[in-house]
Amino acid sequence: MKRDKTEESRKKRLIRHFRDLEIYKRAFDAAMRIYQITKEFPIDERYSLIDQIRRSSRSVCSNLAEGWRKRRYLAVFKNKITDSMPALLNSLR
């Protein structure tokens, strides 16, 4: 039991920046994959569908970063995380 608490507190100390969050890393990787995938889309979709998909994938990372900065305000932090989850789940499909 004590070992679990020690390991848990060590993990918490390692998160000093939003980029250290596992969810942020996954969202960023997904955004990069989405960017690569959308390069293969038809050229006539460049200014509509491709742009919308890319902006929404970047939005997840932005919301996580903003939520991290506002984490002292629990309600705002929960709201930002809640806002980011559907976009992340959609981008992973």
Domains in the chain: boundaries:
2-92
- What does the longest C-alpha to C-alpha distance in the chain come to? 59
pLDDT one-digit tens code per residue, 5-48 = 666 665 556 788 889 989 899 999 999 999 999 999 988 888 88
**Fold held by 2-92:** de novo design (two linked rop proteins) (1.20.1440)
pTM of this prediction? 0.62
pLDDT at 88 over 80: no
How many helices, marked H, and strands, marked E, lie in the chain? 4, 0
> According to the model, what pLDDT value does residue 13 have?
64
| Whole-angstrom distance, CA of residue 2 vs CA of residue 65 | 32
Higher-pLDDT residue of 59, 93: 59
pLDDT at 1 over 60: no
> According to the model, what pLDDT value does residue 10 have?
59
